[in-house]
Amino acid sequence: MSRLQEPSLAYGAAAFHNKDDAISGFLKDSLMSHSTYHPTHKRGRISMNDMISLLMNHRSVRKYTDRPVSQEQLEAIVSAAQMASSSSNVQAYSVVAVTDPALKNQLADYAGSQAYIRECPVFLVWCADLSRLKKAVDTHAPETKSYEGAVENFVVATVDVALAAQNAAVAAESLDLGIVYIGGIRNQIEQVSEALGLPDYVYPVFGMCVGYPDPQHGAGLRPRLPMEAVLHMNGYHVEQNERGVEAYDETSVRYITERTGGQRTSSWSQQMADKLTAPSRLQLKDFLERKGFLQE
């Protein structure tokens, strides 16, 4: 049975504290009941349709079977990606599909030896791509100053590729495939870029493993922030955020303790503090500038 036909909600965001918060519909009704992470499924006023059910069942997959992904599946996934909205229809992205085992191995090494890059049948490298726009200027307005290096166009291209990739992720999951995004390819972005032959005005934003999930290693759903932290009605409410994070810290401690058999017990806030105080991929800015981005 495909995952599209099999609605089941688990985890979900923790409950709202104030039940009178002006949020209606399915999400309030159903997520209110998800303050623990035991699977439950409750329909609210907006019924759980197949699409929402698919989205609510997302989990990153890090173990794959040997079953191949066909060219037809790959093309269906990329077609769905291409129908994502795109800023002014710039379509400022390209995707490199890597199936060659030697090249996947190389990329896995560059991405911090993440084994699932070697093991998945298809590894997609999603790239922000302003090269077609630059070419259009060279062809149609060669004497005119152009702004491919502007921060705005960097944002446009990066958002475009993320929207397309997420469409691809959802399409893949609808075909019973699993995915995991791989930001690790930015660890050695220069080497990744060279290995794939990426020209100027193109940079690899993230990778994505695609393949059939190994049923022996069923991944669980990961709890998200309570909705009150992320949904603010008619203006931003700092106190909602604080309450939400407090509640989520408790949920995340329980989740991580259970998932790691007690080996890790840190709260979400602690994990975020650790993340933000560690230098991360500081070479990125220079690389992007060399590729023609961020040159204002």
Ligand X SMILES: Cc1cc2nc3c(=O)[nH]c(=O)nc-3n(C[C@H](O)[C@H](O)[C@H](O)COP(=O)(O)O)c2cc1C
* Stretch of 25-33, 175-183, 227-235, 260-268 contacting ligand X, by CB under 6 A: 175-183
* Stretch of 30-38, 140-148, 182-190, 278-286 contacting ligand X, by CB under 6 A: 182-190
- Which one, 182 or 198, has the nearer CB to ligand X? 182
- Which string of x and - marks every residue 196-235 that binds ligand X (by CB under 6 A)? ----------x---------------x-------------
Sequence letter at residue 15:
A
CB of 211 to ligand X, least distance (A): 14
Cα 128–chain centre separation: 15
Sequence letter at residue 92:
A
Residues 234-293 that bind ligand X (CB under 6 A): none
Helix, strand, coil percentages in the chain from 3-state DSSP, rounded to 5: 45, 10, 45
Q: By CB under 6 A, tell whether 37 contacts ligand X.
A: no
Residues ≥6 apart with Cβ < 8 Å to 67: 121, 211, 212
Q: Are 132 and 118 in contact (CB under 8 A)?
A: no
SS3 per residue for 250-286 = HHHHHHHHHHCCCCCCCCHHHHHHHHHCCCCCCCHHH
Residues ≥6 apart with Cβ < 8 Å to 86: 92, 160, 163, 164
Q: Which of 60, 87, 91, 266 binds ligand X (CB under 6 A)?
A: 60
Q: Are 219 and 134 in contact (CB under 8 A)?
A: no
CB of 224 to ligand X, least distance (A): 8
Q: Which tokens belong to 179?
A: 């995915």
Q: By CB under 6 A, tell whether 58 contacts ligand X.
A: yes
* Stretch of 57-65, 122-130, 136-144, 250-258 contacting ligand X, by CB under 6 A: 57-65
Q: By CB under 6 A, tell whether 118 contacts ligand X.
A: no
CB of 120 to ligand X, least distance (A): 12
Contacts with ligand X: how many residues (CB under 6 A)? 12
> Cα dist. 219→24, 116, 222, 248 in Å?
30, 14, 9, 20
- Which one, 156 or 185, has the nearer CB to ligand X? 185
Report which residue's Cβ sits closest to ligand X: 183
Q: Which residues bind ligand X (CB under 6 A)?
A: 58-60, 62, 114, 180-184, 206, 222
